[in-house]
Structure 1
Amino acid sequence: MTTTSTPASEGTQRGAPAEAPMESKRRGEQVTLGIFIAVPFLALILAIPFAWGWGLTWVDLGLALVFYVVSGLGITVGYHRYFTHGSFKAKRALRVALAIAGSLAIEGPVIRWVADHRRHHAFSDREGDPHSPWRYGETVPALMKGLWWAHVGWLFDIEQTPRTKYAPDLIADPDITTVDKAFPALVLTSLLGPAVLGGLLTWSLWGAVTAFFWASLVRVALLHHVTWSINSICHAMGERPFASRDRSGNVWWLAILSFGESWHNLHHADPTCARHGVDPGQVDISARVIWAFERLGWAWDVRWPKEKRIEARRMTA
């Protein structure tokens, strides 16, 4: 069996490491990024009037749900809990599958995503954090500007997290570097796959068009904004029952759409924990999926929450 690599930023609750020279983002990457943010977001805005009139079928909804769940869990279980924090170990086939599934979310290649998130934990809500909403201060205007930066603005920053510093384990993994390099092809698969399936299932060109709209554009836009909301909303509001060195909070109304990622306070209090929603009533779909992988023998050494460890981090009244 093949084990996961140890995250380079293990123990992110300790003092922040010294920064490495930043990498630069090319102009072509900036333009491409803008297109992939603006077009799906425009589709999301048009979704409601489009649905009221025509062009929405059960095939569209089914494809959108399937692609949302697969790509969303690829981010939460794969990119985040597995590759970034090493919350469990996985067989080679599962490791590759998680990297591919996360790539279908079109949130960036796996190594880039992991490097950014490890850096976020190393400097959470302090100077050096790539997407803190408190970047500009604590006044209302400053926070509004900071929320925009944390939600989407940081993606356009020309400086990028040095991957060699924050994700050397993934760079050294030939399977993951192969998936990382295949990101453009996986983007096309994520966008065109629903259209092809929609056309085949309805045996019509119109079925392909509506599937592309709902299961590609709208699905990608929704998942993007849910993910970005963890960066912005969950660091500006929410309950904070656990002690952490930042302003991460639990936002319950994002829990289902984010597959449990919005129980963000415990995650920052105990980053390697495989379950983020540890209190009664806190639904954590990602943790349940990891549990299923463990039962199937595909994952092991899962870092489940331990009561003593959790209570040690709980804020006293």
Structure 2
Amino acid sequence: MTIAPAGTPSVTDRPQARPEIEPDPKGTFEKVLMGVFIAVPLLAVVAAVPFAWGWGLGWSDLAIMFVMYGVSGLGVTVGYHRHFTHGSFKAKRPLRIALAIAGGLSIEMSVIDWVAVHRRHHKYSDQENDPHSPWRFGNDWRALTKGLIWAHMGWLFDSRRTSPSKFCPDLMADKDMRRISRFFPGLVAISLLLPAALGGLLTMSWWGALTGFFWGALVRVSLLHHVTWSINSICHAMGEEEFEARDKSRNVWWLAIPSFGESWHNLHHADPTCARHGVLPGQLDSSARTIWLFEKLGWAWDVRWPNPERLAAKRIS
């Protein structure tokens, strides 16, 4: 594995007029709440090993955790990312609604805010105005360490908000997406309470409800968050460069399975609208396989599958 070379200028914070950024409506309470949503699930992950070693893990817990991880994770990768942000495929209205709801269960952001941030990221990738570049503070190891922390989750507490009206007017004009985005707090509640309800029903016990909440909500949310954030941080700092891109995006193979193929990040930045990110032999991409299934079922069409000529032109020999 190679470290991305210091080839582009570091990202700075020079003040300037930025119509693409607006004041963040979140107050102190909301930011404290966000910190709780990051810290509590992470503490659950720390407690998971001794908890499982003793008496706190059953087959129903594993089933709930993996199903919720898959639904919410694919909601982000297939829905938020490849469909809504990049238009890698077109989808029928019921599928669009289902993908937006599934993405909201990740408790990352509403579909409109998530898409706005990611489109801004692609416009300024690893340059000034990129909302979460690990190269924000410079190229030496101290600056990169600070930058990795910022890119991983520090940017979530930024006092500025990416303007949805600037970056995703298409979703702002979609009444379904507006409604689902407004319902985001409700999706957060469902994402946290549904595992507990399923655990209680499957075991017909309060203890099953508690362990279902622990594994299917807290542990699952933390794992999914940190895998998603690793695409912003790790995949822009280290890994393999196989295609020409204008930034420092890299492929990180060991994140491919938990990220549903998102960690083939170098190809994604070389060809952002491509529906498949793992285009080389052996590069597993379960998000692309899911899109393929949607296409076969007739729920998706105009899928932008890899173009051999375009890939060959961008391939680094």
TM-score bucket (shorter structure): over 0.9
Which residue does the alignment assign to 2:264?
A: 263
Which residue does the alignment assign to 2:95?
A: 94
CA distances 1:216-256 after superposition (whole Å, capped 9, x unpaired): 00000000000000000000001011000100000000000
Which residue does the alignment assign to 2:46?
A: 45
**1: distance between equivalents of 2:293 and 2:227?**
24
Which residue does the alignment assign to 1:202?
A: 203
CA distances 1:293-316 after superposition (whole Å, capped 9, x unpaired): 000000000000010011111123
CA distances 1:234-285 after superposition (whole Å, capped 9, x unpaired): 0000101100010000000000000000000000000000000000000000
**3-state DSSP class of the match of 1:212?**
helix
**2: distance between equivalents of 1:277 and 1:177?**
32
Task: Kindly report which structure 2 residues correspond to 1:176-195, keeping only aligned pairs within 5 A, or say none.
Answer: 176-195=177-196
**1: distance between equivalents of 2:252 and 2:283?**
10
Q: State yes or no: 1:20 paired with 2:20.
A: yes
**2: distance between equivalents of 1:313 and 1:92?**
34
**1: distance between equivalents of 2:36 and 2:170?**
31
Task: Kindly report which structure 2 residues correspond to 1:122-137, keeping only aligned pairs within 5 A, or say none.
Answer: 122-137=123-138
- Tell me which amino acid in the other structure corresponds to 1:23: P
CA distances 1:46-83 after superposition (whole Å, capped 9, x unpaired): 11111111110000000000000000000000000000
2:251–2:263 contact (8 Å) kept in structure 1: yes
Which residue does the alignment assign to 1:234?
A: 235
**3-state DSSP class of the match of 1:302?**
coil
- Tell me which amino acid in the other structure corresponds to 2:201: L
1:26–1:158 contact (8 Å) kept in structure 2: no
- Tell me which amino acid in the other structure corresponds to 1:272: T
- Tell me which amino acid in the other structure corresponds to 1:314: R
Which residue does the alignment assign to 1:30?
A: 31
2:126–2:133 contact (8 Å) kept in structure 1: yes
**1: distance between equivalents of 2:29 and 2:184?**
16
- Tell me which amino acid in the other structure corresponds to 2:192: L
CA distances 1:178-228 after superposition (whole Å, capped 9, x unpaired): 111111111110000010110011000000000100010000000000000
The alignment's TM-score, normalised by the length of structure 2, stands at: 0.93
**3-state DSSP class of the match of 1:160?**
strand
Task: Kindly report which structure 2 residues correspond to 1:44-123, keeping only aligned pairs within 5 A, or say none.
Answer: 44-123=45-124
Task: Kindly report which structure 2 residues correspond to 1:148-187, keeping only aligned pairs within 5 A, or say none.
Answer: 148-187=149-188
Listed as ranges, the gaps of 5+ residues in structure 2 are 1-17
1:125–1:135 contact (8 Å) kept in structure 2: yes
Identical aligned pairs, as a percentage?
A: 67
Which residue does the alignment assign to 2:146?
A: 145
**1: distance between equivalents of 2:90 and 2:27?**
35
**3-state DSSP class of the match of 1:169?**
helix
Post-superposition shift, 1:29?
A: 2.1
- Tell me which amino acid in the other structure corresponds to 1:238: G
Which residue does the alignment assign to 2:9?
A: none
Which residue does the alignment assign to 2:282?
A: 281
Which residue does the alignment assign to 1:7?
A: none
**1: distance between equivalents of 2:310 and 2:21?**
36
Listed as ranges, the gaps of 5+ residues in structure 1 are 1-17
**3-state DSSP class of the match of 2:239?**
coil
Post-superposition shift, 1:31?
A: 1.4
Structure 1 vs Structure 2 CA RMSD: 0.8
Post-superposition shift, 1:19?
A: 4.7
- Tell me which amino acid in the other structure corresponds to 1:256: I
Closer/same/farther in 2, CA of residues 259 and 75 from structure 1, 3 Å limit: same
**2: distance between equivalents of 1:174 and 1:85?**
19
Which residue does the alignment assign to 1:10?
A: none
**3-state DSSP class of the match of 1:98?**
helix
**3-state DSSP class of the match of 2:238?**
coil
CA distances 1:4-48 after superposition (whole Å, capped 9, x unpaired): xxxxxxxxxxxxxx7524232322321121111111111111111
**3-state DSSP class of the match of 1:22?**
strand
**3-state DSSP class of the match of 2:187?**
helix
